[in-house]
Amino acid sequence: MLQVENWAEIRRLHRAEGIPIKEIARRLGVARNTVRAALRSDQPPKYERAPGGRVTDAYESAIRALLTEYPRMPGTVIAERISWPYTMNPLRECLRRIRPEYLGVDPVDRVHYEPGQIAQCDLWFPETKIPVAAGQDRVLPVLVMTLGYSRFLSAVMLPSRLGGDLLSGMWTLISTIGRVPKTLVWDRESAIGGTGRVTAPAAAFAGTLATRIKLAPPRDPEFKGMVERANGYLETSFLPGRRFTSPADFNQQLAEWLVRANTRTVRSIHARPVDLLETDYLAMIPLPPVDPPIGLNNRVRLARDYYVRVDTCDYSVDPRLIGRFVDVTASPDQVVVFCDGQVAARHHRSWAKQEVVTDPEHVELARHLRRDLAQRSHHQANAPAGRQHPDGHVVQLRALPDYDALFGVDFTAPSTKASE
């Protein structure tokens, strides 16, 4: 095959210097027909190997038969069904080539976001376990939010993925920014919209903020690709090499890292998020005059053990309220119990599992109540028979025969009719 260098030299000699074909063939040591072919060709010569057979050719009909019925069948399963004898690389290449014929092609358009238009939310679960109690470490969720226009990134670790905690996390991130995006995009997280419809607590949260929550289609992570990429960024750039002593330590290190992360240049927008945040901020909705409904809320009747449960942990309450209804409110930081509008208990929120949180004062009150009840029971057992008047003094109880004697009634006398 004629080399590119010879092809270029032939064309130069003939067209620029006017050397005849015979002389060019002599100088370069090639055939005159080769020179003529080089002069006729306007493209440099390119080696093309004749197409050869593929090892998958003998199996392609069987592969296509499986894909016709099961277009998403994994390659490993296909290899098992067709008794594939080679390595997986040729089979994977064949599947990449022919599977779109059965699945179809799903192109993705690039989306342009207007300032203040949207924020994407998602949960990230870092593999690093966080100490939450003595001898107990947990993998905890991190709520990540990315603004569509500026790509400004914010995140906070939460004690659980329950709805009240997710709403508390969203309010923390939104109130830190200072304004509300017009749309909050979520996947079908069970506490936000696991059934395909936004849950009532999430709808109440969005209504208070005058925004809306938009759920992604099922099994479509690309719908919220910005925050998915942010999760990967956190996984590869924030987490490696770090150690955390508590959830509070995690959130502090994360906040410090986010300051630097938002000053990097994002390739897709050719700008730094911190520089575009002001434009995003001005186009958002102002914060409402009242806080939205957030946190975990429950109303229960206080049982004899004077404890209420939040998530999986139990918290003590004033035992004098046993038998009465109490309202339990829990934020990521604390648990507060109310009865008739008065605080009945206040505890720091435990992020552990199955932990019992007890206020020593409640235990002491319970001990006094048990002692008083025992004394009252002992006094009533030793007191003479009687009953108490509403003013408190004891009323003596008389035997029924005393009333018979008072009225001259004798029920033991034989009947006259019976004696006759």
At 391 the pLDDT is 64
16, 21, 26, 28 alpha-carbon torsion, rounded to 10°: 50
Cβ–Cβ under 8 Å, residues 184 and 267: no
Q: What are the structure tokens assigned to 151, written together?
A: 């790509």
- CA atoms of 176 and 179, how far apart (whole Å): 8
- CA atoms of 378 and 225, how far apart (whole Å): 72
| Nearest to 230, CA basis, from 129, 121, 139, 113 | 121
Q: How far, CA to CA in Å, does 187 sit from each of 84, 111, 192, 231?
A: 38, 18, 8, 14
Cβ–Cβ under 8 Å, residues 386 and 396: yes
- CA atoms of 408 and 222, how far apart (whole Å): 100
| Nearest to 183, CA basis, from 121, 260, 126 | 121
DSSP one-letter string for 108-126: -------TTS-EEEEEE--
Residues 6+ apart with CB under 8 A from 203: 213
Beta strands in 282-353 (DSSP E): 285-286, 296-301, 307-310, 313-316, 325-330, 334-339, 342-348
At 420 the pLDDT is 45
At 41 the pLDDT is 85
Q: What are the structure tokens assigned to 306, written together?
A: 């004077």
pLDDT values of the chain reduced to their tens digit, one per residue, 420 residues: 678 888 888 888 888 888 999 998 898 888 999 889 888 888 888 777 766 778 899 999 999 999 999 999 999 999 999 999 999 999 999 999 999 999 887 776 677 899 999 999 999 999 999 999 998 999 999 999 999 999 999 999 999 999 999 999 999 999 999 999 999 999 999 999 989 999 999 999 999 999 999 999 887 777 888 999 999 999 999 999 999 999 999 999 999 999 999 999 999 899 999 999 999 999 999 999 999 999 999 999 999 999 999 999 999 999 999 999 999 999 999 999 999 999 999 999 999 999 999 999 999 999 999 998 888 776 666 655 556 666 666 666 667 777 777 777 776 666 555 444
CB-side exposure of 259: number of CA atoms within 13 Å?
Answer: 5
| Nearest to 190, CA basis, from 162, 219, 223, 213 | 162
Residues 6+ apart with CB under 8 A from 170: 121, 143, 145, 184, 205
Cβ–Cβ under 8 Å, residues 162 and 143: no
Cβ–Cβ under 8 Å, residues 126 and 154: no
- The single-letter code of the amino acid at 16 is A
At 414 the pLDDT is 61
Residues 6+ apart with CB under 8 A from 79: 88, 91
Cβ–Cβ under 8 Å, residues 98 and 63: yes
Residues 6+ apart with CB under 8 A from 9: 28
Helix (H, G, I), strand (E, B) or coil at 44: coil
Cβ–Cβ under 8 Å, residues 28 and 2: no
Residue 285 pairs in a beta bridge with 180
Cβ–Cβ under 8 Å, residues 155 and 144: yes
At 15 the pLDDT is 86
| Nearest to 147, CA basis, from 123, 187, 171, 119 | 119
Q: How far, CA to CA in Å, does 45 sit from each of 14, 34, 39, 159?
A: 17, 12, 11, 67
